Structure 1
Amino acid sequence: MSPHFSFLQLLTALTGAWSLTTVSEVSVAAGSSITIPCLYEPKFRDHVKYLCRGYDWLLCKYVMKSTQAPNSLGMISDDTSQQVFTVTIRDVQTRDAYYWCAVERIDSDMKQFFELVVTTGVPGLRVDNQRVKGFVGEDLTITFHHSNTGETQWCRLGGLCVRWPSGEIDGTAVIITLLRNDFFTVTMRTLRTGSRGWYFCTKGALRMPVHITVEQRPPTKPRMVTVLSPTTSERVKPTSASAASEVPTTKGDKSATSSDSPSSIIIIIIVTVSLVFIVMVTIVILLVLKTCKKIRTLPATTAAGEETYSEVTYTRNSHGESIRVPASNDTHATYSTLATQK
Structure 2
Amino acid sequence: MGFYSLSSSLILLVFLLFISDSESVRTLKKLAVRRGGSLSVPCFYDKQYKLNHKYWCKGYYWSSCGIVAYTDQSTKTTSVTDHPTQNMFTVELNSLQDSDSGYYWCAVEIGGFGTPDDGNYVDLMVSADPAVRVENSSVSGQEGGSVSVQCFYSAGYKNKLKKWCRFTDWSCYPNSAVNISDDGKGSFRVEMSGLQKSDAGWYWFSAGDVGVTVHLTITNTSEAEISTSDATPLLNGTTLAFFIILGLFLLLVVGLVIWTLQRHMLATKRRSNRGPADVLYSNIVFRGKSQTQPDQLIYFLLAQEDHDDKVIYNAVKCHQ
1:112 equivalent in alignment to 2:102 = no
The correspondence of residues 311-330 of structure 1 with structure 2, limited to 5 A, is: none
Render the CA deviation track for 1:68-91: whole Å, top value 9, x for unaligned.
2x2203101122221121111223
Residue 33 and residue 160 in structure 1: after superposition, are their counterparts in 2 closer, same or farther (change >3 A)?
closer
State yes or no: 1:82 paired with 2:89: no
Where 2:48 maps in the other structure, the secondary structure is: helix
Q: Name the aligned partner's letter for residue 46 of structure 2.
A: E
- The alignment-based identity, stated in percent, is 30
Q: Does residue 139 of structure 2 align to residue 129 of structure 1?
A: no
Work out whether residues 162 and 174 of structure 1, in 8 Å CA contact, stay in contact via their aligned partners in 2: no
The RMSD of aligned alpha carbons is: 2.5
- Give the alignment partner of residue 142 of structure 1, picking from 142, 149, 173: 149
Instruction: Find out whether 1:33 has 2:41 as its counterpart.
Output: no
- Cα deviation digits, residues 95-131 of structure 1 (max 9, x gap): 3311001011133211010011121x22111112211
Q: CA deviation at 1:29?
A: 2.1
The aligned counterpart of 2:165 is 155
Secondary structure, aligned partner of 1:98 = strand
Q: Which amino acid aligns with 2:93?
A: I
CA distance, structure 2, for counterparts of residue 84 and residue 194 of structure 1: 16
Contact kept, 8 Å, 1:21 with 1:158, in 2: the verdict is no
* 1:102 correspondence with 2:110: no
What one-letter code is carried by the residue in structure 2 that aligns with 1:134? G
Between the aligned partners of 2:171 and 2:207, the Cα distance in structure 1 is: 13
Deviation track 1:269-328 (CA, whole Å, cap 9, x = no partner) reads: xxxxxxxxxxxxxxxxxxxxxxxxxxxxxxxxxxxxxxxxxxxxxxxxxxxxxxxxxxxx
Larger radius of gyration: 1
Query: Which residue is equivalent to 1:337?
Result: none
Calculate the TM-score normalised by the size of structure 1: 0.56
Please give the alpha-carbon distance, in whole angstroms, between the structure 1 residues aligned to 2:169 and 2:124: 22
- For the 8 Å contact 1:49–1:104, the answer to whether it is kept is yes
Alpha-carbon distance, 1:37 to partner: 0.6
SS for the counterpart of 2:194 is coil
Runs of at least 5 residues in structure 2 that lack an aligned partner in the other structure = 1-14, 234-320
Q: 1:11 to 1:176 in 2, by over 3 A?
A: farther
- 1:180 Cα deviation after fit: 4.6
Written as runs of structure 1 = structure 2, the 5 A alignment for 1:1-342 is 17-68=22-73, 70-96=74-100, 97-106=102-111, 107-119=115-127, 121-147=128-154, 148-149=157-158, 150-162=160-172, 166-167=174-175, 173-217=177-221, 218-219=224-225, 221=229
- The offset of 1:31, in angstroms, is 2.8
**What's the CA shift for 1:204?**
1.2
| Inter-partner Cα distance in structure 1 for 2:170 and 2:47 | 19
Q: Do the aligned residues in 1 keep the contact of 2:143 with 2:218 (CA within 8 Å)?
A: yes
What is the total number of aligned residue pairs between the two structures? 208
Q: Secondary structure at the match of 1:23?
A: coil
Flag the 1:11–1:129 CA change in 2: closer, same or farther, 3 A.
farther
Structure 2: how far apart are the matches of 1:80 and 1:130?
22
Runs of 5+ consecutive residues of structure 1 not aligned to the other structure = 1-9, 225-342
Counterpart secondary structure, 1:123: coil
Amino acid at match of 1:58: S
Larger helix percent:
2
CA distance in 1, matches of 2:58, 2:38: 16
- C-alpha change, 1:16 and 1:202, in structure 2 (3 Å) is closer
Over 4 Å off, 4+ runs = none
